[in-house]
């Protein structure tokens, strides 16, 4: 028996493994681009909800749900979202939705604007940290800039679970009626 025939089953097995692997590459790509992804929370704008420690080794990772997040009906007040910066689209921000289309917002700095009406298909986002650069700086954000909605905190393991609520109430209708959570 020739050496070629002896290695034929190994070559077929290797080819089958390679083809199986390659057939899953598009599936993994579609899932990570359009369905779900693991996102790393960077920066201090969501502190103390995320990254309460200053250590880079304890940066929080979240499960991002991407399916349908640009649809305003799939977003709720207090959801945490990853979005492209309206100022620099190369930057990704992590912010909390504090108001949706049609809501009248009392900005954090009312001396510059007394009230802001959130336009159709826009959201008002704020960081949980008072020093965050957010809608108080750049105004309402189009839902088209939303990349994903954080659904679970998955790292570090001692903080595993649903995303905690946080931030301030800024919707005038809720403030006027003494909104309590």
For 33-62, the pLDDT digits (tens) are 776 788 888 877 788 778 777 766 678 888
The one catalytic residue among 95, 98, 100, 149: 95
Annotated active-site residue 95? The verdict is: yes
Q: CB of 141 within 8 A of CB of 83?
A: yes
Which residues, 6 or more positions from 162, have their beta carbon under 8 angstroms from its beta carbon?
151, 152, 153
Which is more confident, 5 or 143?
A: 143
d(CA 79, CA 88): 22
User: Is the CB of residue 103 less than 8 Å from the CB of residue 173?
Assistant: yes
What are the domain boundaries of the chain? Answer: 1-34, 36-176
Query: Is the domain covering 36-176 a CATH 3.40.50.720 domain?
Result: no
Question: DSSP readout, 131-170?
Answer: T--SHHHH--EEGGGEEEEEEEEEESGGG-EEPPP-S---
> pLDDT tens-digit profile of 70-108?
888 888 998 999 999 988 889 989 999 999 998 888 888
Whether residue 157 is predicted with pLDDT greater than 80 in this model: the reply is no
Average of per-residue pLDDT values in the chain: 81
Active site residue 23: no
- Beta-carbon contacts of residue 103 (< 8 Å; ≥ 6 apart): 117, 118, 124, 171, 172, 173
Alpha carbon distance 157, 35 (integer Å):
23
Residue 32: what pLDDT? 73
* pTM for the predicted model, two decimal places: 0.74
**Considering only CA atoms, which of 37, 53, 43, 54 is closest in space to residue 152?**
37
Active-site residue, from 45, 98, 132, 149: 45
């Amino acid at each position: 028996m020739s050496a070629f025939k002896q290695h034929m089953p190994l070559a077929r097995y290797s080819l089958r493994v390679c083809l199986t692997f390659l057939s899953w590459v598009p599936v993994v790509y579609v899932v990570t681009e359009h369905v779900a992804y693991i996102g790393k929370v960077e920066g201090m704008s969501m502190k103390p909800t995320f990254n309460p420690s200053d250590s880079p080794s304890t940066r929080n990772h979240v499960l991002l749900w991407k399916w349908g997040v640009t649809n305003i009906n799939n977003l709720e007040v207090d959801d945490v979202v990853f979005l492209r910066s309206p100022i620099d689209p190369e930057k990704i921000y992590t912010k909390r939705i504090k108001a949706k289309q049609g809501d009248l917002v009392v900005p954090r700095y009312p001396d510059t604007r007394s009230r802001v009406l959130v336009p159709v298909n826009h959201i008002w986002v704020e960081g949980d940290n008072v020093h965050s650069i957010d809608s108080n700086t750049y105004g309402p954000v189009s839902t088209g800039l939303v990349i994903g909605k954080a659904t679970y905190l998955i790292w570090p393991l001692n903080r595993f679970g649903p995303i905690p609520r946080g931030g301030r109430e800024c919707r005038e209708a809720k403030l006027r009626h003494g909104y309590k959570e």
